[in-house]
Amino acid sequence: MSESSPLAVDMRGITKQFPGVLANNHVDFSVRHGEIHALVGENGAGKSTLMNILYGLIHPDSGEIVIDGKTVHITGPRDAIGLGIGMVHQHFMLIPVFSVGENIMLGREPVTGPDFYDHSHARAAIADLTKSYGLALDPDARMGDLPVGLQQRAEIVKVLYRGANILILDEPTGVLTPQETKELFVVLRDLVKSGKTIIFISHKLKEVLEISDRITVMRRGKVVGHLTTRETNEEEIATLMVGREVLLRVDKKPAQPGAVAMKVEDLTASSDRSVPALKGVSFDLRYGEILGIAGVEGNGQSELMEVLAGTRRATGGRVVLADRDITTMDANTERDAGVAFIPEDRRGTGLVLGFSIAENSILGRERTATFSWHEFVLRLVAIRNWAMRLVKDYDIRTPSIDVAARNLSGGNQQKVIVAREMGSNPKVLLAAQPTRGVDIGAIEFIHRQIVKERDAGAAVLLVSAELDEVRSLSDRIAVMYEGKIVSIEPPDTPEERLGLLMTGGGARAGAA
Amino acid sequence: MTVLTDILHLLFTANLWQATLAAAVLLLLPALGGVVSERSGVVNIAMEGMMLTGAFFGVVADLAWHNVWAATGVAILAGGMMASIHAVVSIQFRADQIVSGIAINIFAGGLTVFLVNRIYGLQDVGHLGQSDLLPNLNIPGLEQIPFFGKVLFQQNVVVYAALVLLFLTHIVLFRTRLGLRIRAVGEHPQAADTAGINVFMLRYGAVITSGLFSGLAGAFLAIGISNTFVPGMTDGRGYIALAAMIFGKWTPFGAFIACLIFGLGEAIYANNSIIHVSPYLLSMLPYLLTLIVLAGLVGRSTPPAADGLPYVPGSE
């Protein structure tokens, strides 16, 4: 691995035109042997296009690709695999009902006799791989039964089995818990030690800074910066990515909490699989404060938000909103009572994707006098004016309010929801994963809006899988673990302590 | 009371079980075809039409050539041709697979009636002589076993062929590389594609296989059990096979057990002279069982994850 060895990957002048978008505009991208190279940029910057070109899924209009000093033509994934390039996709290419072994072998299965799948040979091959890279896996386990972290590990082993020396990882930490992310990073460092080269696509700057050696930044189809990780910082990368200075820290004044807006007492509820998800949750939410809920996903946060929003039935306990018991109210009545809800699944529950922005902007409020005549006939002009105001106020990037929500980018879809929910001037705002999958620029905007709501006197309950987001926005942090709030902490609590609480350690008896 | 004792008595006759197996095989072939097709991710409700087409062309060829083996080959190919229409429409053009299946069933019904009129005028098709039919084959030695000899070893050649295909389908699907890939394509075509597997080719192969199997069933019906072609003679068996496939949770042996249950219903009906119940009531038995199965009384069964979803390369 001397410095003079040829580059592992050298892509020169790559250009790819899609209808209406120049996805890659003369992109130069080079990766050295044995380094972890981060490729960062906002959604739609052209990272995925560039990597799909390298993996042979997309063919460039022009430009050349040099692997290990040799110019190559990659016509499909088979060619890429043959050149030692492997890709771990953002959405796993795994078959849940197959065993781990079958998943890893698929496409290059060991065979005995006429065409029989050779289980023992497969097991041996996997045992070899997992031993040499320290990636423990049970080849006979059913893939769907494994936690996401192990599934990803299987994806990595799958790529290694195909003889990859250059690994492309597309947003690998998006689905991982902080713990799993740590484990992944250990694995990546080991892989580099054993001579592999890694391309790491991400938009989480902290992680990029932690794991990479060098960074290539893309914006709108162009490379806008080559950085050495040691010599840069979050602000510099963010500025390059967005094209202007971005406020990474949330700028907010100290909270001035008022009266109790929502009182939750010993709330219990079941998950979709009818197992208890909330096991007695109690807290007070005050006007003018942001209460953040930290926790590893799947510890009851989603269910809590749904119960509070009225879309899931509580099995016990009470929710009181300004002296009114709203425990059993449905979502519609709760909205009338002043509760707004930004759901975590924006495409499934937040929007009707086939509806226009205008139509989406009044969902849940279509029967109010402002938007309908006697709850019967829609007031189209009022709706259009309202939608146009939201588009302007919330900086939703769209050619018109008649565009279907489906055709907006993820960030702009989220802005439509945020605009709709905040536009109703709620007393209580329930925000679940408000910035998931959203670009840095839009995150900054949404954060500012949330703080603005708080300053206007609303009570905000925030659930986020991003610990950074919870820490920077919240005035108090409640940590959830296994359906309970194990502790309520001040916002400047060290990350380590929160991490410990989130995984069930360090809880004080009688907390909350 | 007499009805129950009649049925009980019937259940202990080898004749009943012999008829049950034959009736079951008539359902098993299209059901196996359905299993293969749907395991690859292509919903196939067109077995009825493929069977009917196979039955018709089998009879036509047999009447023309007086060679039952060649006629069986023609029937199988005719089923395969019908299936390849379904394949092109649903794999290449990504049309709705249910709609394509319904279209093929209706098309097959219309086409065969049209051709009957065209070729044979308005008269009936004509009857085949005993020597032109798929023969029964008694396995020497084994046929002598009391009871089981009659049930298992005094059967039509197609019955033996179908049982071989049953084992073969199971082994191919669950023991071979080919089967692993077919199932991979039916569960997660993107994953299969990125692993370098040809999704389109496997799906074409699986769908056409379902047609070949159904065509053989058509031959068995028209030039084995019967000796002529009658419009609509499949009588919903392709749909019952569909129910058997679902009942059997998309596995060959599961489907076979379901076919045996349906076949028993048919065999009891065929022996209705012994039972003092209206034959019309008995004739409903197989269909009633189908409805109960499809209503989900046997518990939910999960189809392959990508069943019915066309594959668009490069999509997420």
Full 3-state SS string of A133-151: HCCCCCCCCEHHHCCHHHH
Which pLDDT score, from 0 to 100, does residue A263 have?
A: 93
In a 10 Å sphere around its CB, with 0-12 CB exposed, 13-18 middle and 19+ buried, how is residue A346 labelled? buried
In a 10 Å sphere around its CB, with 0-12 CB exposed, 13-18 middle and 19+ buried, how is residue A265 labelled? middle
The minimum CA-CA distance between B305 and chain A, rounded to whole Å, is: 9
As beta bridge partners, residue A373 has A377
Pick the range with the lowest mean pLDDT from A324-333, A452-461, B67-76, B290-299: B290-299
* Same domain (yes/no): A204, A270: no
Q: Is A188 inside any structural domain?
A: yes
Q: Is A255 inside any structural domain?
A: no
Angle at alpha carbon of residue A106, lines to A101 and A111, rounded to 5° = 85
B177, B181, B190 member nearest A93 (Cβ): B190
The minimum CA-CA distance between B46 and chain A, rounded to whole Å, is: 27
End-to-end CA distance of chain B: 61
User: Which residues in A lie closer than 8 A to residue B250 (C-beta atoms)?
Assistant: none
* Same domain (yes/no): A238, A91: yes
The ipTM assigned to this model is 0.88
Please answer whether residues B240 and B53 qualify as being in contact, where contact means their C-beta atoms are separated by less than 8 angstroms.
no
The minimum CA-CA distance between B203 and chain A, rounded to whole Å, is: 16
Band of pLDDT at residue B314, cut at 50, 70 and 90 = low
Pick the range with the lowest mean pLDDT from A102-111, A188-197, B7-16, B93-102: B7-16
Residue A174, pLDDT > 80, answer: no
* Same domain (yes/no): A88, A137: yes
Residue B122, pLDDT > 80, answer: no
Q: What is the DSSP string of B110-125?
A: HHHHHHHHHHHTTS--
Distance CA B68, CA B70 (A): 6
Q: Is A247 inside any structural domain?
A: no
Which tokens go with B222? 């028209």
* Same domain (yes/no): A319, A460: yes
* Same domain (yes/no): A350, A415: yes
* Same domain (yes/no): A114, A157: yes
DSSP state of B90: I
The minimum CA-CA distance between A247 and chain B, rounded to whole Å, is: 33
Which chain B residue lies closest to A161 (C-alpha atoms)? Answer: B195
Report which of residues A479 and A500 the model is more confident about.
A479
* Same domain (yes/no): A237, A375: no
Work out whether strand A339-342 and strand A428-432 pair parallel, antiparallel, or are unpaired: parallel
Residue A90, pLDDT > 90, answer: no
* Same domain (yes/no): A159, A280: no
The minimum CA-CA distance between A50 and chain B, rounded to whole Å, is: 14
Which chain B residue lies closest to A115 (C-alpha atoms)? Answer: B176
Q: Is A148 inside any structural domain?
A: yes
User: Which residues in A lie closer than 8 A to residue B175 (C-beta atoms)?
Assistant: 116-117
* Same domain (yes/no): A311, A427: yes
Q: What is the CATH number of the domain that holds A42?
A: 3.40.50.300
DSSP state of A89: -
For a pLDDT cut of 90, what percent of chain B falls above it? 67
Q: Is A16 inside any structural domain?
A: yes
* Same domain (yes/no): A230, A331: no
User: Which residues in B lie closer than 8 A to residue A97 (C-beta atoms)?
Assistant: 187, 305
Please answer whether residues A176 and A152 qualify as being in contact, where contact means their C-beta atoms are separated by less than 8 angstroms.
yes
Domains and CATH numbers, chain B: 2-127+157-294 (1.10.3470.10)
Which tokens go with A47? 């990272």
Q: Is A187 inside any structural domain?
A: yes
Q: Which residues of A touch B (CB under 8 A)?
A: 52, 57-58, 77-78, 81, 87, 89, 91-98, 102-103, 106-109, 111, 114-117
Domain that holds residue A398: 260-502
Residue A233 identity: N
Q: What is the DSSP string of B259-309?
A: HHHHHHHHHHHHTTTTS-S-HHHHHTHHHHHHHHHHTTTT---PPPTTTTP
What are the CA-CA distances from residue A359 to residues A363, A380, A386, A420, A442 (Å)?
Answer: 7, 10, 10, 11, 22
Residue B175 contacts A, CB cutoff 8 Å? yes
* Same domain (yes/no): A227, A324: no
Distance CA A85, CA B287 (A): 55
* Same domain (yes/no): A437, A494: yes
Q: Among A213, A242, A271, where does a domain finish?
A: A242
The H-or-E segment that residue A82 falls in is helix A77-82
User: Which residues in B lie closer than 8 A to residue A87 (C-beta atoms)?
Assistant: 194
Residue A510, pLDDT > 50, answer: no
Encode pLDDT of A106-131 as tens digits.
999 999 989 999 999 999 999 998 88
Which pLDDT score, from 0 to 100, does residue B315 have?
A: 55
User: Which residues in A lie closer than 8 A to residue B179 (C-beta atoms)?
Assistant: 117
Number of domains, chain A:
2
Which chain A residue lies closest to B199 (C-alpha atoms)? Answer: A107
pTM for the structure as a whole: 0.80
Which of B171, B182, B188, B201 to probe by mutation at the A interface, max A CB count within 10 Å? B188
Encode pLDDT of A215-250 as tens digits.
999 998 999 999 999 999 988 999 999 888 777 777
**Average pLDDT score, chain B:** 91
As beta bridge partners, residue A285 has A262
Q: Is A429 inside any structural domain?
A: yes
Cβ partners under 8 Å of residue A20, min gap 6: none
Q: Is A249 inside any structural domain?
A: no
